[in-house]
Amino acid sequence: MKGLSKKEIELISSLEFEEKYFFTKEDVAPFITTENQRRHIIHKLMKKKRIIKLNKSKYYLIPIKAKTGKWYEDSFVMVDEVLNGDNYFIGGWAAANYWKLTDQIAMKIEVYTTKRQGIRKFLTTTIIFRRTSPKRLKEAVIKSRNNHNFKILNKKESKKWMTTRK
């Protein structure tokens, strides 16, 4: 692959072979011994758009088969990984569409969390973070897609949300 060093190709190939598309610096440790070298190779791969940073400790690997660097990951899985599977639920149009309450496909994913707020884009997914209370987090249910769990607003609450939109 043009533009990638031998060490970078070795790292990407190994992570891809192990199907570790979501990884941390510790997953890079077998290839690079010092912390400074790990930060450097991650920085270089981010500049080359082969990995993206999801949060303080987690990264997403864009596979080698994505020659141009363009890639798509399931939005619900991406949200779960960005928030480390904790203190959130997916709501809004995405939840309504998931429960088949609407045919409207969500262009942006609304995520209710106790930790952050604002808008952030990861790959092709735009996530709108909205702040909510810990009490409201109990309205979420755990579902699975592509062998990965995620939290989504329950069907009853999604119906209630839909009635406020008409």
Whether residues 86 and 152 fall in one domain: yes
Q: How many domains does the chain have?
A: 2
The answer to whether position 66 is within a domain reads no
Answer yes or no: are the C-beta atoms of 115 and 87 closer than 8 Å. Answer: yes
Whether residues 45 and 101 fall in one domain: no
Q: Which token pair is 4? A: 């990638």
The answer to whether position 27 is within a domain reads yes
Whether residues 79 and 151 fall in one domain: yes
Mean pLDDT of 70-89: 87
pTM (predicted TM-score): 0.83
- Looking at residue 67, what is its pLDDT? 61
Whether residues 87 and 119 fall in one domain: yes
Q: Which domain holds residue 130?
A: 75-163
Whether residues 94 and 150 fall in one domain: yes
The answer to whether position 115 is within a domain reads yes
The answer to whether position 138 is within a domain reads yes
The answer to whether position 88 is within a domain reads yes
Whether residues 37 and 114 fall in one domain: no
Confidence of residue 92 (pLDDT cuts 50, 70, 90): very high
Confidence of residue 89 (pLDDT cuts 50, 70, 90): very high
3 vs 145: CA distance, rounded Å: 34
- Looking at residue 74, what is its pLDDT? 85
145 vs 22: CA distance, rounded Å: 16
- Looking at residue 166, what is its pLDDT? 62
23 vs 10: CA distance, rounded Å: 15
- Looking at residue 4, what is its pLDDT? 85
Whether residues 27 and 54 fall in one domain: yes
How does DSSP assign 94-157, residue by residue? HHHHHTTS-SPPPSEEEEEESS--EEEEETTEEEEEEE--TTGGGGEEEEEETTEEEEEE-HHH
Whether residues 101 and 36 fall in one domain: no
